[in-house]
Amino acid sequence: MSGEFDLIKKYFSRVSAQQAHSRHQQVLLGVADDCALFTCTTGKTIATSKDLLLEGRHFFSDVDPYRLGHKSLAVNLSDLAAMGAKPIACLLGLGLPRLDEAWLSAFADGFYHLSEQFACPLIGGDTTRSDKGIIISVTVFGEVSPPYLMRSQAKEGDVIWVSGELGAAHIALQLLSKAVEAPLAYDEQQLLNSTRGALEQPMPRVLLGQALNGITHAMIDISDGLIQDLGHMLQQSQVSACIYEKQLPVSPLIKSLPLAVIREAVLSGGDVYELCFTAPASKTDNIQQIAKQLAIPITAIGTILPNTSNDKNKLIVLDENNSEINMQYKGFDHFA
């Protein structure tokens, strides 16, 4: 392989314009020209989002490239999911320090596998050499119709729901970070083996987000941790909330760990591509039916409360004795 153009042709042109067109009616032109072309269904609105993943900051240098390809797209599809959007297509920006064909081939496999699963074809991108490690930036496009599933729409009395199970990704990250310093003990290695899939290959809740659009009030994906992202929702909606620790869906993989460790992982652990959403109690049966049909577990974890003159946008977490948990558990912030 001689360079940039061969690389693009070999690894990132799998969906030809023709194929993209026959499978995805909206894509008129894929990887080929100065721009890709796609249309939006009449009356719908384009939803778009971008995420940046840097080697050493968002992923370890030795992460399985197939999983990295999957995750690069998954984190973006999760943003579409949180808007209830149906994916249309995606773009991939890549900065690579070297031309490693085995790495590229596995990365592309992981990326395309997920892109096919959710009918989100790769229609373009850019590829350059990087002097500072691997840089990956994906942009996704989807479509939605109003009313939009925005963070600002939570209403007093709404039930707060969360999809999936929480905490495993955080534990895997802790163990991987520790392993950089010294080899892990046998039981730590076992725990890492079971939890790292949650960190490295998360499944975005694309179908759940779309199915709940029109039923729920507010929705957010909790990629920076439940407390932090639910906090954003409360702020933007100008409401408060109470959630119950005993109702939180703790991943069975981490249940044997000490309470303080579980608490931190579940409340503030990041890299969680689950959806947190609110809806009136009258919609409970409807919501449970949808989740059941999609075979995605969902759990009611609390209630939206009005702001009071003393407490604005406050999140109260109650332990099993209904005492308030001291909230030093904040989510992830790159500049904190």
333 binds Mg ion (CB under 5 A): no
Nearer to ligand ADP, 33 or 100 (CB): 33
Nearer to ligand ADP, 31 or 114 (CB): 31
Listed ranges 112-120, 124-132, 225-233, 272-280: which one lies at the site for ligand ADP (CB under 6 A)? 124-132
Nearer to Mg ion, 31 or 226 (CB): 31
The answer to the question of whether 333 is labelled as a binding residue is no
| Min dist. Cβ of residue 5 to ligand ADP (A) | 6
- Got the DSSP string for 34-103? SS-EE---TT-EEEEEEEEEEBTTTB-TTS-HHHHHHHHHHHHHHHHHHTTPEEEEEEEEEEESS--HHH
Here's the x/- map for Mg ion, 91-130, by CB under 5 A: it reads as -----------------------------------x----
Nearer to ligand ADP, 33 or 311 (CB): 33
| Min dist. Cβ of residue 167 to Mg ion (A) | 40
Query: Residue 211 phi/psi, 5° resolution?
Result: -70, -30
In this structure, the number of other CB atoms found within 10 A of the CB of residue 257 comes to: 16
Nearest to 107 by CA among 170, 203, 200: 200
Residue 278 contacts residue 216 (beta carbons within 8 Å): yes
Burial of 59 (0-12, 13-18, 19+ CB in 10 A): buried
Instruction: Say which entry of ligand ADP, Mg ion, none residue 197 contacts (CB below 5 to 8 A, set by partner kind).
Output: none
Number of H helices, E strands in the chain: 10, 12
The residues that touch ligand ADP, with contacts defined as CB under 6 A, are 8, 12, 31-34, 92, 94, 122, 124-127
Point out the annotated binding site for substrate.
Answer: 58, 271, 332
